[in-house]
Amino acid sequence: MTRETPVPRSVNSMIHWSVEPLIPTSLWLALAILAAVLIVVYAMRKPAIVTRRRWMAILSLMSIAISLVLALLLNPIRIEDIPPPAGKPLLTVLVDCDGKHEHARCRRGHALPGGSQGRQ
């Protein structure tokens, strides 16, 4: 499953963020829900010695850490489209006359472009 979100960068190029999960999406969603439930259950059991402000900081850091792991499991990929070079495209034709790959013009002995002579 691939999801792309285009982000304009300049006139000639576009950046796309694609997501290709490393695990099935249903498993990822189950892990995200389980993590959220566990953080809520853990948040309700605040130790008496820890101040409320410090407890909120602890829970915030735990939530950020779990969110980063879940985001990495989504395997985000940055794709940048590069415009093609200006001008007409070039076409190169290679004709092999060494005998391994037979070609009709090589067998008949016709002159090939570039001044080479085919095998007779």
pLDDT category at 120 given cuts 50, 70, 90 is very low
**Residue 8 confidence (pLDDT) above 70:** no
The CA-based diameter of the chain, rounded to the nearest angstrom, is 97
Supply the mean pLDDT for the chain.
80
**Each residue of 80-115: pLDDT tens digit?**
888 777 888 788 887 766 666 555 665 555 555 555
Instruction: Give the start-end residues of each E strand in 1-120.
Output: 3-8, 14-19, 76-81
Q: How is residue 116 written in tokens? A: 């080479």
User: How confident is the model at residue 92, as a pLDDT?
Assistant: 82
Q: What is the pTM of this model?
A: 0.56
Q: Which of 18, 19, 35, 7 is nearest to 73 (CA)?
A: 19
pLDDT surpasses 60 at 52: yes
- The rounded distance, in Å, linking the Cα atoms of 39 and 37 is 5
- d(CA 53, CA 21) in angstroms, rounded, equals 36
